[in-house]
Copies of this chain bind each other. A is one copy, B any other.
Amino acid sequence: MDLEVMRGLSTKAETKVLLLVLDGLGGLPLTPDGLTELETAETPNLDELARRGVCGLSTPVAPGITPGSGPGHLALFGYDPFRFEIGRGVLEALGIGFELLPTDIAARGNFCTLDPKTRFITDRRAGRIPTEVGTRLCDKLGAITLPRVEAIVQPVKEYRFILVLRGEGLEDGLTETDPQQVGVPQLPVQPTRAEASGTANLLNQWLEKAHELLADEHPANGCNLRGIARDPGLPQLPDIYGLRCGAIATYPMYRGVAQLAGMEVLATGDSLEDEVDTLRTHWSEHDFFFFHVKKTDTAGEDGDFQRKVEVIEHFDQLLPGILALDPDVVIVTGDHSTPAVWKAHSWHELPVLLWSRYIRPDEVTAFGERPCMTGGLGHIHHTDLMPLAAAHAGRLSKFGA
């Protein structure tokens, strides 16, 4: 949907929308005749909500396209991921609570191991050094100075950090240095637009100085810069829908994308129970909550079918406590599929469950990929979810006379 159309239709109401996102929820059977993770899980509460609600399958980005977490969440929040793009540097920066300015250029940094003689990359993650080591190295790199601009370095986790250039005249449109394989040299940062050549030069100067400072370190004697970009300046959800939006997520990237969309990111503990507590504490303050469950995806990526089943079951046990808050609209889905058998994000559609007092009921009585195939929502797209949520919340006026 065109966001300007939505902005024009949105209207006030005293209703609350709850978007429950189980990251990587969609799955596949382990054997041809088997069940998916969600179908295997004992989910009496999700099943009951499916019975009372309406189900379907949703394509996160486009048929056959496997979304990264950024595009997957953009689509969930109603943004066309082909039109709006977020650099990974920006996401990581916001995710650690870094206050990014609209003119900043942010890069995700990865410490890596370089062959001392050839300078070829031998390990793209520097043996996954612990966070303490990464933090010490970031302190070291923080001393680098560049002409006219500030170069801020902040650790993220393990081998990952962010580099933010701050100052006048910085431009985006910059390529990554990570060749995505070992046994080859790093790539220089290159401008994809003429205006960005100055910024590319600054980043290459920074890299040179970084490698001097890291020369005696082991295994992290080098670093790569990826996803170099600035804040894409997304239209803000509170402006579009008139919703006060709160985000509950434990992992930096999801907190980052929620903030970019204009949500208030709420401080929360790490466990699912903590997240539910956070939701309860802030329930009166917001009209829309994005509630993110990370561990379904982690288990899928690890190829651990059973652990993914258990995370889903854990979430199911907490669902009654969530529903007791009495939301007006509930959506349960994921940002993309992460089948344990595929051990990575995949292109498969997501099961979607929509409940409100005004849904049109279907015959689905269990929440699972197969039941959702014949659900009343049919096959939709993630960008349909926000308009559907707003409509069911009585927050969209009539289009046209």
Contacts and interface: CB of A to CB of B under 8 A. Distances in A.
Interface of A: 1-2, 5, 9, 26, 28-29, 32-33, 36, 52, 57, 61-71, 81-82, 85-88, 91, 108, 226-227, 339, 341-342, 344-349, 358, 360-363, 369-370, 373-376, 378-380, 384, 386-392, 396-401
Contacts of A361: 29, 32-33, 370
B360 A36 contact: yes
B36 A387 contact: no
B69 A347 contact: no
Tell me the dominant secondary structure on chain A's binding face: loop
Contacts of A348: 360
Nearest to A85: B400
B363 A370 contact: yes
Which of A32, A347, A400 has the largest number of chain B CB atoms within 10 A? A400
How many copies, total?
A: 2
B70 A401 contact: yes
10 contacts: A5-B65, A32-B361, A36-B360, A66-B399, A68-B398, A85-B400, A86-B400, A227-B401, A348-B360, A349-B360
Given A36-B360, A360-B28, A396 B64 contact: yes
Which of A33, A65, A341, A390 has the largest number of chain B CB atoms within 10 A? A65
Contacts of A358: 28, 339, 341-342, 346
A223 to B, nearest CB: 17
Nearest to A373: B376
Nearest to A27: B360
A388 B1 contact: no
Nearest to A395: B64
Contact of A391 (B26, B57, B65, B379): B65
Closest 6 CB pairs of A and B: A64-B387, A378-B379, A88-B401, A68-B400, A64-B391, A71-B400
Given A1-B62, A360-B28, A401-B227, A378 B70 contact: no
B91 A401 contact: yes
A400 B67 contact: yes
Given A57-B378, A374-B374, A401 B68 contact: yes
Given A71-B400, A348-B360, A64 B1 contact: yes
A342 B394 CA distance: 10
Nearest to A74: B400
A335 B65 CA distance: 23
B360 A71 contact: no
Contacts of A392: 64
B387 A376 contact: no
A387 B65 contact: yes
Contact of A64 (B108, B370, B390, B400): B390
